[in-house]
Structure 1
Amino acid sequence: MENSKRHPMAGSITGEYFVSDDGSVRVPALMTRPAAFPKVREDLVAYTWNDSDFLLASYPKNGTNFIWEIMTMLVKGSANYANIVKGALMIDIFPIGESSQLFPSPRVLNTHYRTDVLPQEFRKGKTVAILRNPKDVCVSWYYDMKNLASINSQSHLFEDMNFSQYLPRFLHDKDAPYGTYFDFVEYMWSLRNNSNILIVFYEDLKLDPLATIQKLNEFMETNRSIDLIQQIAEATSFDKMKEGKLLLSLSKDLIKLEHADNEKGHSLLKQLKTRMGHIYRKGGIGDWKNHFTVAANKKFDDFLRQWEGGKSIPFKY
């Protein structure tokens, strides 16, 4: 692949890949702590699916945090924010054997991997896949990648790369983190008629949250009332959820704040706000219009016209 199409964070941090049954798809196995990966993989292979659980499969920046929170509220029957971190139930990074001891079923497990590269057990249960229009994903993933690179001391990979330079890497590099968005979406969309799969669009969640949450309620068979669905919709609006999750994080760190001087307390608050800013950056529809040049948009549209697997997907831009 020519260098202009090579993703700056291409390849597997762990040196390992998740591979589909027929061997045609290889997705980099990612871990912020590569040494922990063997235990994560061991637990995945050994796991027996619990039918009271749900799986959320979402490519990064497709609205994972929002729909996980909604699904968890439906499971718990409450519009209160989850007091656990989503990452603790993310089978990509946390050994599921350990999370099962800490967080008993029913629960919402989540992954950024397409399900055909996961063990068969993870394809048995009720699975929700959330899809978002590729232009907004490209923008949001670019900013998140820059943040991840800085956390992993790889900031030099993005220092001189602007969005226009990043775009062809998003389009073409199959060795990018979690593989390409297009392969993920195409495969998950192909499962849309399976009885244990529900496809939800991020834009529908934003434009008509009540109808979308009701669809989730029916699919998950949680039988929640219209009143609770209304409360969940209100609690998970972008601004309210961003503020609510920040306050929840602050409440967990109250002891640190109480025993910190003003300077340390302000530093902690700043760190939490920064973290929330990365997770909940804008959350809108159409932010791509603020980043795409005319030439970049043409290049993207040309790619989409050639993407046969995406022609039937009703994206909203």
Structure 2
Amino acid sequence: METPPHPRGAKAHGLYMTNDDESVKIPAMVVKEEGFHEVKKAVQSYKWKEGDVLLASYPKNGTNFLWEIMTMLLRGTSEYIQDYKAMCMIDLFPVTKLDDKLFPSPRVLNTHYRIEGLPTEFHDRKTVLVLRNPKDVCRSYFFMESNLMWDKVGAVDTCLKSMTLSEYLRIFLYGKDVPFGNYFHYVEYMWALKSKPNVHVVFFEDLVLDPVGEIEKLNVFMETKRSKDLVEEIAEATTFAKMQQGKSTQGHDNQALLSALGTNEETMKKTLKLMFRKGKIGDWKNTFTVADNELFDAFLEEWKGGQDIPFRYV
């Protein structure tokens, strides 16, 4: 069966994030074309600020969850971060606009692109990589993409909203031109960096099951030197239920962000609610059909690049 193109993929818009010499091209996430060009120009001209940390993750791997924890560690607080994470997302908001007034350093910049597809300025920085089992990623990403209602995207939303999970699953497994590139290509490349001293890997499932232990590892890697008491307070504050309640109403009135994303306050409120939906391990079992799971398992069995990755599916 032929894999259908992603409605927001590179075949639709022909835009890519690239490294310095454009030898690596990754299909871009495009909300509006002029906005992407501004974002790419900002990434290409940005000069790294010492003390900042890079959070790397494919969509729906726990980015919001981990960003909050890492920013709390940097700021030495268990209070929810009032600044909105998307402003530090170099894929969506022009990173050159960030300054000490808008979003002070040290800060956690985050990206869904493979590091090889970014300019050299972003290579070899202190980087936290978060991974999640691919079945839950697929399920969560499908929900987000089929319900995310950017007001500038237009008819593309209709294509995604009418798509079934089974149809989307084939795009997730086999699609090459999907925004941010194929999930499995992403994981293979990023997992190969795990032994580098500037890279720390976190599994979403470990963070859910042992938050104190995983946050303490981040505390050591990031050299934030926070107390055991604060680590425990951060773990308590960032349980999914509390994050869902505490974060879903923040950031929707930031006009600089709304303008960059080409959206409005009402749409942003809806989007924020979608970002904090369940955060569970094994939710794929509630929605995959037997045929879906068999197709996924057959793919994973053939996926040589993921054989040594200790994914946890339940």
How does the TM-score come out when normalised to structure 2?
0.89
Letter in 1 for 2:179: P
Alpha-carbon distance, 1:48 to partner: 1.9
Alpha-carbon distance, 1:3 to partner: 4.5
Map of 1:281 onto structure 2? 277
Listed as ranges, the gaps of 5+ residues in structure 1 are 254-267
Query: Which secondary structure state, in structure 2, belongs to the residue aligned with residue 128 of structure 1?
Result: strand
How many residue pairs align between the two structures? 300
Letter in 2 for 1:120: T
Q: 1:172 aligns with which of 171, 174, 184?
A: 174
Alpha-carbon distance, 1:72 to partner: 0.2
Alpha-carbon distance, 1:42 to partner: 2.0
Q: 1:206 aligns with which of 187, 205, 208?
A: 208
Alpha-carbon distance, 1:281 to partner: 1.1
**2-structure distance, mates of 1:13, 1:44:** 23
Query: Which secondary structure state, in structure 2, belongs to the residue aligned with residue 100 of structure 1?
Result: coil
Distance 1:122 1:13, change over 3 A: farther
Map of 1:119 onto structure 2? 119
- Contact 2:244/2:277, CA 8 A, preserved across alignment: no
Alpha-carbon distance, 1:277 to partner: 2.6
Alpha-carbon distance, 1:273 to partner: 6.2
- Contact 1:4/1:169, CA 8 A, preserved across alignment: yes
Q: Does the alignment pair 1:7 with 2:3? A: no
RMSD, aligned CA: 2.3
Map of 2:261 onto structure 1? none
Q: Report the identity percentage.
A: 49
Map of 2:183 onto structure 1? 181
4+ residue segments displaced more than 4 Å: 20-25, 247-250, 270-273
Alpha-carbon distance, 1:100 to partner: 2.9
Distance 1:37 1:248, change over 3 A: closer
Alignment of structure 1 residues 34-45 onto 2, 5 Å: 34-45=33-44
**1-structure distance, mates of 2:114, 2:46:** 18
* Structure with the bigger percentage of helix: 1
- Contact 1:12/1:30, CA 8 A, preserved across alignment: no
How does the TM-score come out when normalised to structure 1?
0.88
Alpha-carbon distance, 1:164 to partner: 1.0
**2-structure distance, mates of 1:249, 1:94:** 13
Indicate the larger mover: 134-143 or 240-249.
Answer: 240-249
**Which one has a bigger Cα radius of gyration?**
1
**1-structure distance, mates of 2:91, 2:150:** 21
Listed as ranges, the gaps of 5+ residues in structure 2 are 255-264
- Contact 1:135/1:288, CA 8 A, preserved across alignment: yes
